[in-house]
Amino acid sequence: MTKNLKKVYNSFVALDNLNLKVEGGVCLGFLGPNGAGKTTTIKILTTLIKPTSGKAYLNGIDVTSDPKAALSDVGAVVETPEFYPYLTPNEMLSYQGELRGMSSNEISERSRKVLDEVKLTEWADKPIGSFSRGMKQRMALAQALLHDPAILILDEPTSGLDPRGMHEVREIIKTLKEKGKTVFMSSHLLSEVQEVCDTVALLDRGRLIVCDKIENLSKISPVKKIEVRALVAPTDSQLDDICRFRGVRNVKQTSSQVLLIEFEGDEDSMAELHDSLLELGLKMTSFKPTGTDLESMYLEIIAESVR
């Protein structure tokens, strides 16, 4: 939870009285354009930086006045951290586990489990200095999960990973959500947030614009974009007809055979549009909605915020 959290760098206001409350067991996606204040918030929560004013709490404990207690049941991945290059993953996890008060049995058992989860088992005894960026990101996730914390703070957790790695990390986060863990994750990948999170907080220029469940936010922007590809370029008269179809707000011809239709309506209306295009004589090779509901909402809200 944050209370009037403010961070000012010289004259730049990175966070402007941020008030955010995340209930236990919620998986919250923290969204916003570059410079919105997402990483600043995460850095304050993980004690990497101090707020100019206001308070930040983890498990009800003020992170500034008692960081040791506040961070005791928290796992965090902030940016892509580096690890001591002379240590192996097993040694690094051992260090982290000891600092958290885990017994050697717990450390060894949990290390095996988390290294298996992040697919680093065969590298468990190799120096981290030789790891790629993606492997270090996996290592970061392993050390965040080591003590099975109640709260996970993840700053772009799939950054630097290949598509398979991204999928694996998303699966891990979904499992954590099922276990009732509280996950607070920032990401630029809206499809990822939509897939993994149940709640979204949107930040812009240091201010919280909206914080709600994804299903509620999707209703904010009813306009969908549909990409239509045709075998033959549509004529001008066909384009005029399309503009007059029910629910169509705008039609853009992105190339001779590709149309981008902005459409407002439910699934039935969309099926109706599909049939109308066929009746018009358009030889369609594909008809697909582009972007996610969350993306439409994001763009709409950010555009309003800028206005």
Q: Can you give the binding site for other proteins, defined by CB under 8 A?
A: 43, 46-50, 67-74, 76, 78-84, 86-87, 91-92, 95-96, 98-103, 106, 110, 140, 143, 147-148, 150, 153
> Of 45 and 190, which has the nearer Cβ to other proteins?
45
> Of 10 and 255, which has the nearer Cβ to other proteins?
10
> Of 108 and 305, which has the nearer Cβ to other proteins?
108
> Of 72 and 276, which has the nearer Cβ to other proteins?
72
User: In this structure, are residues 63 and 57 in contact, taking their beta carbons and an 8 Å threshold?
Assistant: yes
Q: How far is the CB of 131 from other proteins (least distance, A)?
A: 13
Q: How far is the CB of 250 from other proteins (least distance, A)?
A: 45
Q: Token digits for 189?
A: 């990948």
> Of 79 and 227, which has the nearer Cβ to other proteins?
79
- DSSP-derived 3-state class of residue 24: coil
Q: Token digits for 19?
A: 């008030």
Would strands 12-20 and 2-9 be described as parallel, antiparallel, or unpaired?
Answer: antiparallel
Q: How far is the CB of 208 from other proteins (least distance, A)?
A: 22
Q: Token digits for 258?
A: 């590709």
Q: How far is the CB of 19 from other proteins (least distance, A)?
A: 22
Calculate the alpha carbon distances from 267 to 111, 213, 215, 222, 264 in Å. Answer: 47, 21, 16, 12, 10
Q: Which amino acid is at 168?
A: E
Q: How far is the CB of 128 from other proteins (least distance, A)?
A: 10
Q: How many Cα neighbours within 13 Å face the side chain of 140?
A: 26
Could you give the CA distance from residue 239 to residue 275 in angstroms, rounded to a whole number?
A: 15
